Structure 1
Amino acid sequence: MNTALHVAMSRTGMTPATLAGKVGVDPKTVARWLGGRVPHPRHRSQVAQVLREDEDVIWSGLLKRGYDREIRAAWPTRSAVPRELWNDLIHRATSRIWCAGYTSYFLWTEVPGITPTLRNKAASGLDLRFLLGLKDSPVTHERERIEDAALSISTRIDITTAELTKIEPTPQVRHTDRHISLSVWIFDDEALVSTHLADQLGHASPTLHIRRRGPGGLFDQYANHVDHLWETAHAPAPAP
């Protein structure tokens, strides 16, 4: 019997039928998991997200002992990341949300009601930062040429900037072109990391979900990366 799975389901009020519906399997399959059968990796990730528990807690026999234990899930594209995960990470954050995507424009299409949510987070004193790209940088212009997208990078930066003006207190915003190929979004001690590929748009980027397990791991590396870029980035000129 998988006692940890049973406890996690009880804590969240899940029955085999309701959990089955959340992850798209038959209730009999969930019953087999409760009996000790180990699900496929995709279903393990989905169950962990639904139950808001770590995979290595629910299936301790699969425990990773190296730095790779900080990797909670992986997807071949950013668009494959469940919308519910973005929403959950943003809503659960209490100390910091650092958005270090070149535009982070997609957040306003993926997360319902994100503007009032961020407004409430900022008002609570949460450290809310947006590290955006540099519109006039040659790096940006070259990437726009490569992508050849109808909605240019510069336009997406403008849209995000306009949305951020609707938030009070105003989030901290800085600009750099040094993260054109790597986007990191940090929510307390968890992060989503996307590595951009060739001529593909951001939604086609492989993406990792990482949770901090201790000092010097993957999470700290990415968080330190964002912090360094922030310290060396350009603050926007004050409005006239």
Structure 2
Amino acid sequence: MNTALRKALAASRLTETDVAARLGVDPKTVRRWLSGQRPYPRHRWAVADLLQVDEEDLWPQGAPEPEEDPPLFEHAYRVFAHRWEVPREAWCALFAEAKQEIGILVYSGLFLADDAGMLELLAARARDGVSVRILLGDPDSPEVRQRGEDEEIGDALAARARNALALFRPLLGVEGVEVRTHSTILYNSVYLTERRLLVNQHIYGLPAAKSPVVEIDRTLSPDMAETYARSFTLAWEGAQPVAS
């Protein structure tokens, strides 16, 4: 049992569920840490920051490190055949680990916007000083309309973009969150932090949820990561701010 971790939780008046929500992991994972399992380094750093204690006070040096899964390929850490196969925990982990920035470039991103826990996670990261930038497709733009026709869903994509905009809008009341609408032709949806990216390919005639997702580690593949990050920057610079 990790007595130090249990005492730190009690001192912070946080429950296992609270920690799990803030870090984007399953509460069972937190319970395993409390039982004595040593987390991955990224999770140890996040817990120490959350509880405002030194990492070594919770997990003294000398214990063996848990083995990380090796990268699948040289430039891709993981590949998912479809976006719907990406577990919610992976999205939560991506955003929870951010220390500097979170960027979301989509047409609607409704699967995130319609998740109250995900919205709270984004708001919490912004309150912790992380810059959160969200780029949504302009529902009145010809690009969104054309994408809807390509997917053979007509005006449904524009409706999803409007719905997502309404659901993301309350985040504008949180300092550090910016939302803009764009009218670019998206070849990929991009979800990024200063550490990693999840890139959802766009395939003609298919919705993004059925298209592949590639996870890229910025340290392992800096050039590839920068290619996608630059597309986010270009779209952001040409987008229109959304008023709160």
Q: Do the two structures share a fold, i.e. TM-score over 0.5?
A: yes
Match of 2:76 among 71, 96, 102: 71
User: For residue 219 of structure 2, what is the aligned residue in structure 1?
Assistant: 213
Separation of aligned partners in 1, 2:234 and 2:207: 25
User: For residue 5 of structure 2, what is the aligned residue in structure 1?
Assistant: none
Separation of aligned partners in 1, 2:184 and 2:113: 23
In the TM superposition, what is the alpha-carbon distance from 1:141 to its structure 2 partner? 1.4
Amino acid at match of 2:136: L
Question: Is the CA contact 2:145–2:154 (under 8 Å) kept in the aligned structure 1?
Answer: no
SS at match of 2:74: helix
Amino acid at match of 1:227: T
In the TM superposition, what is the alpha-carbon distance from 1:140 to its structure 2 partner? 1.5
Amino acid at match of 1:140: V
User: For residue 112 of structure 2, what is the aligned residue in structure 1?
Assistant: 107
User: For residue 89 of structure 2, what is the aligned residue in structure 1?
Assistant: 84
SS at match of 1:180: coil
Question: Is the CA contact 1:77–1:206 (under 8 Å) kept in the aligned structure 2?
Answer: yes
Separation of aligned partners in 1, 2:120 and 2:238: 29
In the TM superposition, what is the alpha-carbon distance from 1:97 to its structure 2 partner? 0.9
User: For residue 199 of structure 1, what is the aligned residue in structure 2?
Assistant: 205
User: For residue 55 of structure 1, what is the aligned residue in structure 2?
Assistant: 70
SS at match of 1:228: helix
Match of 1:125 among 105, 129, 148: 129
Alpha-carbon RMSD across the aligned residues, in angstroms, is 2.7
Q: Which structure 1 segments of 5+ residues have no match?
A: 1-8, 14-50, 57-63
In the TM superposition, what is the alpha-carbon distance from 1:219 to its structure 2 partner? 0.7
TM-aligned CA distance change 1:214 to 1:122, over 3 Å:
same
Same amino acid, percent of matched pairs = 25
Separation of aligned partners in 1, 2:221 and 2:211: 27
Amino acid at match of 1:154: A
Q: Which moves more between the two structures, 196-205 or 174-183?
A: 174-183
Separation of aligned partners in 2, 1:182 and 1:93: 21
TM-aligned CA distance change 1:52 to 1:107, over 3 Å:
farther
Structure-1-length-normalised TM-score: 0.67
Match of 1:145 among 140, 143, 149: 149
In the TM superposition, what is the alpha-carbon distance from 1:217 to its structure 2 partner? 1.3
Amino acid at match of 2:68: E
Amino acid at match of 2:163: I
Question: Is the CA contact 1:101–1:179 (under 8 Å) kept in the aligned structure 2?
Answer: no
Q: Which moves more between the two structures, 134-143 or 201-210?
A: 134-143
SS at match of 1:69: coil
User: For residue 12 of structure 1, what is the aligned residue in structure 2?
Assistant: 39
Q: Which structure 2 segments of 5+ residues have no match?
A: 1-35, 41-65
In the TM superposition, what is the alpha-carbon distance from 1:102 to its structure 2 partner? 1.4
Q: Which moves more between the two structures, 98-107 or 214-223?
A: 214-223
Question: Is the CA contact 2:81–2:211 (under 8 Å) kept in the aligned structure 1?
Answer: yes
Separation of aligned partners in 1, 2:80 and 2:221: 25
Amino acid at match of 1:85: A
